[in-house]
Chain A
């Protein structure tokens, strides 16, 4: 990918637009249009700041990219989208320069296009089955649906054209939304639109959940999340921070004594998973959750300004292969680490991180050690990390997840010297709501069990969605569940006798 200069890309796109926009294009001609790269901050510059790496398309670029869409009758991209956005329709509108209408089409299915355009793994969703990519034999050549989505969403925000959705007349019903991440944001919006009073409870001092504490500024500017909350507040969603359901009030009390007619639980991922190897509690071993929360939520990257400290690292080993691992590695680099290595048990192909994040990480000088697993973490006399013992792996038979599972190769142990270890191998579920709510059914991993279509839990009037149900999933899947739950909750509330 490399760093791309917005001005140069824009000029090229303007020329292309002049060539193509004046005539009716055949499919062959559409496929010949070069796919549009997205401008990024220069590598040397961006590793010294926390600002967003990807700069988005120019107007000419987005319209050229839109011309690449073949508007297939069967629209395989829609099937690839977890919330079935009418992708060809919004892309057609972009081609016509009707950005406001395009964003309206997206919002019929997805509440948060500025966020999803940035964080969705499009290459395994909408862009995977794209006919253009298939014909050009590379998913990287598929229509860049995510980038187009991002453009129109940003366009709307910059124009100040964000419409506050209309709210149905008051129903007299009161709903609690627990947590303020993507699942809860979506549920809250849809419930409020139906005219219910909606109170959102957040345990932390800031709203946004994983979008704020987990995903770094360089990948998702917090200003975008803040604006989404501005809209929710303008819609009349009430927000109560510093409220931990289960401790400040129990779930049943919300229903029985605080007058809530229904509850949506979107409490998110819970306790970080550790490797369960020797040395895991040494000084210098962090969960990615802790490391990223310090940096993102507590702004520890502004050393000297922030009250929350963050570890001074020189050599960092990050375990894991997902987006969180990429985020942690790139944060460590920006905080001044001299060497950051991502250690992953499988090969690059199996990495669940977004392709773009892996590419950006590589450009920035993050090193990758594939097919290696940690055996133990070694400590100094003072109990601080001094290295990790690794073992090489080869890929064996596919496991339950369908990915080929790593098999350790005996005798291939090696030592990787480092002073910091960041563990990014996922989360177990938070035990709190379960512990404090009688009758709430969870599975053996502690995730709340829901009916698939309605997101209804084992308790009357209580619905759930997002990571507390799915384990570690994506923003778009969390949003999809928030939306499904809200639809079912709206039906449920309609069926309730008036208070």
Chain B
């Protein structure tokens, strides 16, 4: 059983959970993900990138935003409760090595899975700058943690409620000009990752992105997570989740992520119960 060891509410709808999963904690590397399912016949399988791990405690840390039925239900778990099913670590780890200068860009919840990657990049001897951004102050996470490892952390919000009022692409562009990084790693909403690649492309700076395609099994069986990479169909679960951002067909990814939008809007409507998130808040 995968017991919840700690739980923290980072903002109205963002939660951090430390879960007992010793095998995964032992083996996971930066960039990998897990799939969880909360038992029973009807609960969905939810892929989440691993935000951190602690081998001594045998735990992994998950950070998630309660946006759908499954993540809402997950958010209702308390310390001592268990997640029935947890599979991982899945996907290829990040290609961590010495690049020279690395910029890590995290948007919203994406800052959480970005943290171990940034950490590994730093440990590999890279100079590291981190940009984190969110819609507003409440949704901004990982500032302190990033501060411990990065040479510089640039914080921005869309509405200017905290840090600089800007999209992450603004400081990214400036760094491309002034600092000339050798690699950019961007994790966040697909639209953000897309525009990060639009920003870095003129500078020809390799840009790695982590794709959160729709997935069921996560082991290379269902084919739901297929993405178009340089015109070739790849599977985010076994070929990814990280890809060369310049090769991704972003428009197709964005369309495919909207496959069940009508159905999920209904589900979202249904399940704010028990979480103290009121309609309109989320």
The distance in angstroms between the C-alpha atoms of A98 and B235, with both chains bound, is: 52
Known: A249-B23, A281-B233, A383-B252. A309 touches B263 (CB 8 A): yes
**A203 in contact (CB, < 8 A):** yes
B42 x A302 contact (CB < 8 A): yes
Given A287-B222, A290-B216, is A306 in contact with B88 using a C-beta cutoff of 8 Å? no
Considering the complex, give the chain A residue whose CB is closest to the CB of B43.
A307
Assembly CA distance A309 to B257 (angstroms): 13
> Contacts A293-B217, A299-B41; is A272 near B24 (CB within 8 Å)?
no
Give the shortest distance, in Å, between B215 (CB) and chain A (any CB).
Answer: 10
| A253-284 with Cβ < 8 A to chain B | 268-272, 274, 280-284
Chain A CB within 10 Å — which of B41, B221, B251, B260 has the most? B221
**B92 → A minimal CB distance (Å):** 9
Segment among B97-105, B115-123, B223-231 that sits at the interface with chain A: B223-231
Chain B residues lying within 8 Å of A271, measured Cβ to Cβ, are 220-221, 223, 235, 238
Contact of B45 with A by CB under 8 A: yes
Interface of B is mostly: mixed
Is B7 an interface position by the 8 A CB rule? no
The winner among B86, B223, B249, B267 for most chain A CB atoms within 10 A is B223
A23 within 8 A of B: no
Q: How far is the CA of A307 from the CA of B260 in the complex (A)?
A: 12
A286 within 8 A of B: yes
Residues of A within 8 A of B221 (CB): 213, 268-272, 289, 293, 430
Which residues of chain A from 292 to 308 have a CB within 8 Å of any chain B CB?
Answer: 293-294, 297-299, 302, 305-308
Are A283 and B259 touching (Cβ within 8 A)?
A: yes
Q: Which of B190-226 contact A (CB under 8 A)?
A: 216-217, 219-224, 226
Residues of A within 8 A of B44 (CB): 298, 306-308
B233 is contacted by which of A243, A244, A274, A283 (Cβ under 8 Å)? A274
Size range of the chain B interface in the assembly: 35 or more
Contact B88 A247 (CB under 8 A): yes
Provided the pairs A247-B90, A293-B216 are in contact, do residues A283 and B84 lie with their beta carbons within 8 angstroms? no
CB contact list, A230-246 vs B, under 8 A: 241-244
Asked whether any CB of chain A lies closer than 8 Å to the CB of B85, the reply is yes
Q: Which of these, B87, B233, B259, contacts A242 with CB under 8 Å? A: B87
The answer to whether B252 and A281 touch across the interface, beta carbons within 8 angstroms, is yes
Contact with A along B54-85 (1 / 0, CB 8 A): 00000000000000011001000000000011
A464 to B42: give the CA distance in the assembly, Å: 32
Q: A384–B260 Cα gap in the complex (Å)?
A: 12
Interface of A is mostly: loop
Is the beta-carbon distance between B87 and A290 smaller than 8 angstroms? Answer: no
Contact A305 B42 (CB under 8 A): yes
Question: Are A205 and B220 in contact, CB atoms less than 8 angstroms apart?
Answer: no
Query: B267, A307: Cβ atoms under 8 Å?
Result: yes
Closest to A246 in B: B219
Contact B88 A248 (CB under 8 A): yes
Residue A78 lies at the interface, judged by CB distance under 8 Å to chain B: no
Identity of the chain A residue whose Cβ is nearest the Cβ of B252 in the assembled complex:
A281
Contacts of B43 in A (CB 8 A): 307
Are A283 and B42 interface neighbours, CB within 8 A?
no
Q: How far is the CA of A269 from the CA of B222 in the complex (A)?
A: 10
How far is it, in angstroms, between the C-alpha of A244 and the C-alpha of B238 when the chains are bound? 12
Residues of A within 8 A of B217 (CB): 203-204, 213, 293
Cross-chain contact A309 with B42 (CB below 8 angstroms): no
| Cβ–Cβ contact B260 & A311, under 8 A | yes
Q: Does A431 contact B (CB under 8 A)?
A: yes
CA distance A242 to B19 in the complex (A): 15
Minimum Cβ distance to chain A for residue B36 (Å): 9
B256 interfacial contact with A, CB 8 Å:
yes
Indicate whether B281 reaches chain A with its CB closer than 8 angstroms.
no
Q: Does B262 contact A (CB under 8 A)?
A: yes
A286 to B86 CA separation, bound complex (whole angstroms): 25
Residues of B152-187 at the interface with A, using a CB-CB cut-off of 8 Å, are: none
CA of A302 to CA of B40, assembled, Å: 14
- B27 part of interface (Cβ distance < 8 Å): yes
Q: Are A244 and B219 in contact (CB under 8 A)?
A: yes
